[in-house]
Structure 1
């Protein structure tokens, strides 16, 4: 027998406004009868679904051991649980109507549990009112734990209370919520009907907790730096702009936490890190979101080799803590985090995967000729140096090959404005990036601490942008001043938390690991959405 208050036509096939109106009328009737659920301010929850089932298993096993083969003795012991009432609260997820007795599934923050609701136990009038409730309503249940004849651990309700009325129906049981766009836009609904999604975000929290524990354990101090900045540095990333009314000035949401963290190294903190929300006014794809979380760490008196050792050890530690092993599966590929990571200079990597030797280029012109021969695009004219060409070869031939954890180091100075030059070869810097599954996961330097060199590089960045017509970038004079007071030799590293979470949760898109990813608003009624999506690419399902 179906729940008498469930429409005969599946809810998903009815007009949503009609369904909402039906439920709203039910709510209004309850309110008129003096049973408004929204006046309830608290409910005494004494147990969670997962622990109820786990505890019952333990208790039942103990009783069986004590009773031996005596079934009556075992039942007598189980009957004592009737005198040990518990209360849970959660959302009704399914309903099986058997007349004067009903089974509902209630989901709380830990699991689902079946609840047996019988008219003889809660009273005729209460039962009559209960039968008007809907799937999706949030309820409180008091009762005792038992196992049904079919073997399912359940709660036998002695009292049931509506705590909140759901005015909109949940997605249909057998098909659920599968549309990716809807899942990302309505994450709350995704979490309700796709419980496995919740585990991804539980794991994200665990990852962040373990990173903090790791860094704290080796002497790092967590700090916070400003999100709103008074100037736009001349970096490649484009910032979001806002306006400060009191100061009557434009301000910029940060695109990194680097410069302020290094000021703290100048100030005498030897090891600092920040878990920072970063904002970049750029494109979107399965591995990029305009706002994301980075973790940047800086350590005085070490260099980029020290940061290489740190990141390898941290990843192995995280994999064992989170996944229980240091070989993990990502998108069907085993990633061997526990083995020593391959370390190649950029020139070595290009030689290995492209068959081109940087050292064979005597001049910039030689490099450009080689690029033309191999079909690698570089800047026209004489602007493309040997360093620019090497980077272009790396992008064209190398990155897609770096499936297993690989550290690529010694980057050309052309694309490393904040890294220290290699003393023995000033055309390169002491910088590395590490790659997993052909994806850049983090970036590190032996930090530049020469204020004169730093000022010159900042000026060149600004001039290059202005030559392209972009007049917004500025030199961060305060950072240069900080360096003039002296910064010790320092290693720095930044990693994207979201990509790390993608890796350790086997998630294909960054939107799968962000609770509320950035989305274009849905068009208003009567408007059509512009299909020219300004660089936004929907991630693959």
Structure 2
């Protein structure tokens, strides 16, 4: 900020503080107290927007509203202002000869950003705008800093995310998108509750980081003198509840992954995971498809959405393909053949794919898919047949044990959901964990650790189970056409200001 702008801002701060003191000197508390309101702006528009000026006068309806001043106009003894609350905005109209000198001076001293309470008649102006004619005005809170310019809004991207409250005040789209997130979560809960899933809360501090391939955050508990991990997934504890006898269980909860930040990733995010005893992958496909449609209908009132310039139709049956088929169609490379690790490394080099030393053929197949296929899957597509190397918690494919009973759902060029026919053989599970431990020793810092406690739980008997994971943030992005995950997080992770 240049010095001139800084000085101007200081001038505005000083003027607002002077007005605050003037209010106090006149016996008005500039930071108010409880105010009883009978309506919000949307209530008034819904009730009276279609009633004529003359009929409104006959109704003689009184209302009590409250909100922030976002526009103010008028001269002399008559004034107009727009009051904004959570549901929208409404105009109020004030006359000095009707409210008196004291009340009118309160209005005159009110700045954009201040909160007022208004009691008066519901009316329409000669121009037909629904308004409230003020009988009594109550000062509720003084804004000591000016709001962002109403024409340019909040254009600084860093400030938009760092001062989310200003973004919500200045940008209607941001405000509505963030509110829609709550509708997405409510719709998810409704859908699962209707299927008799039980919602639970599990612990965020784990003594072992498991349930996903991710680098964890580590913290230390002083009293126990023990390191703990912020959970990277909900999976293993929810499976223990399946073992404990809850047939259908889900959790909506925060998970934490110590990874990079981009338009699809934030170090903490909200995950939905569901598990249903006696289900397999086919059941979870139906669950996932129905869930996505249900949320779209509840939140957007349609199954046709626009995302990043693409029109996406959620109504038809979702397409299905295998990872091997998709890679072969995109690159001509056929991983259904028995390809050695050495041959896979050679294919990766020929197709400009960077490899890591601990990789095997399955890792390279997955990298082919991510580089050449994933971004092309715009319409809803289930991709199945993931390699066993990248799916340590999924059942093996009984026909070809190189692959697993797993799917990922892709919409709009990105992954939305991940699901398994869950591995319930404790001996196989321990062997998978051992393979993951070897990867960790060879440099894979996202490999899963051997979780003896989980394996012991499985040894008491875990029924066949279908499991699903959906990123709530990505689902919200899809439903709101958000350009970045930061646009649907109230307070995204940012580097602290110096």
- With structure 1 as the length reference, what TM-score do the two structures score? 0.87
Aligned-partner Cα distance in 1 for 2:359–2:86? 57
Q: Does residue 389 in structure 1 map to residue 364 in structure 2?
A: yes
Unaligned runs of 5+ in 1: 1-10, 61-73, 524-541
Aligned-pair distance for 1:153? 1.1
Match of 1:53 in 2: 45
Matched with 1:15 is 8
Partner of residue 512, structure 1: 487
CA distance in 1, matches of 2:342, 2:140: 75
Q: 1:472 to 1:315 in 2, by over 3 A?
A: closer
Partner of 2:57: 79
Which of structure 1's runs of 4+ aligned residues deviate more than 4 A?
Answer: 11-14, 469-474
How big is the alpha-carbon RMSD for the aligned residues of Structure 1 and Structure 2? Answer: 2.1
Out of 110-119 and 237-246, give the one that drifted further. Answer: 237-246
Q: 1:233: Cα distance to partner?
A: 4.0
Distance of 1:366 and 1:346 partners within structure 2: 18
Q: Once the two structures are superposed, what CA deviation does each residue of 1:170-219 show, in whole Å capped at 9, x if it has no partner?
A: 11222122222211111111111222322112221111111111111112
Match of 1:351 in 2: 328
Cα distance in 2, alignment partners of residues 392 and 472 from structure 1: 16
- Runs of at least 5 residues in structure 2 that lack an aligned partner in the other structure: none
Counterpart residue number, 2:422: 447
Larger displacement relative to structure 2 (289-298 or 460-469): 460-469
The 1:198–1:16 alpha-carbon spacing in structure 2 relative to 1, beyond 3 Å, is same
Give the C-alpha shift of residue 37 in structure 1: 2.8
- Kindly indicate whether residue 412 of structure 2 is the aligned counterpart of residue 434 of structure 1: no
Deviation at 1:445, TM superposition (A): 0.7
**1:165 maps onto 2:157 in alignment:** no
Q: Take 1:12 and 1:376, find their aligned partners in 2: how far apart are those partners?
A: 50
Instruction: Report the Cα distance in structure 2 between the residues aligned to 1:172 and 1:116, rounded to whole angstroms.
Output: 23
Does 1:263 find its partner at 2:240? yes
Counterpart in the other structure of 1:300: 277
Confirm or deny that 1:32 pairs with 2:25: yes
Distance 2:157 2:364 in 1: 40
State the Cα deviation string for residues 103-146 of structure 1 (Å, max 9, x = none).
11111121111111111111123323431221111000111011
Total equivalences in the alignment: 495
CA distance in 1, matches of 2:241, 2:56: 63
**How big is the shift at 1:501?**
0.5
Other-structure match for 1:42? 34
CA distance in 1, matches of 2:436, 2:246: 29
* Conserved 8 A contact 1:81-1:144: no
**Partner secondary structure for residue 134 of structure 2:** strand
Summarize the alignment of residues 67-466 of structure 1 with structure 2, pairs less than 5 Å apart. Answer: 75=54, 77-82=55-60, 84-233=61-210, 236-379=213-356, 384-466=359-441
Q: 1:18: Cα distance to partner?
A: 2.5
**Which whole-Å CA distance do the structure 2 matches of 1:183 and 1:461 have between them?**
41
Distance 1:278 1:263 in 2: 18
| Cα 1:469/1:133, change in 2 over 3 Å | closer
CA–CA distance in 2 between the matches of 1:43 and 1:412?
61
CA contact (8 A) 1:12 1:172 kept: no
Kindly provide the CA deviation profile for residues 482-539 of structure 1, in whole angstroms up to 9, marking residues without a partner as x. 000010111111010000110111111101111111111222xxxxxxxxxxxxxxxx
- 1:59 is displaced (CA, Å) by 4.3
Residue 241 of structure 1 deviates from its aligned partner by: 1.9
Alpha-carbon distance between aligned partners in 1 of 2:70 and 2:214, rounded to the nearest angstrom: 45
- The SS at the match of 1:352 is helix
**Counterpart secondary structure, 1:425:** coil
Pair 1:502-2:477 in alignment = yes
Cα distance, 1:472 vs. partner? 11
Which SS does the other structure have where 1:320 is aligned?
A: helix
Q: Specify whether residues 99 and 390 from structure 1 end up closer, same or farther in structure 2 by C-alpha distance, changes over 3 A only.
A: same
User: 3-state SS of the aligned residue for 2:81?
Assistant: strand
Secondary structure at the counterpart of residue 87 of structure 1: strand
Give the greater-gyration-radius structure (CA). Answer: 1
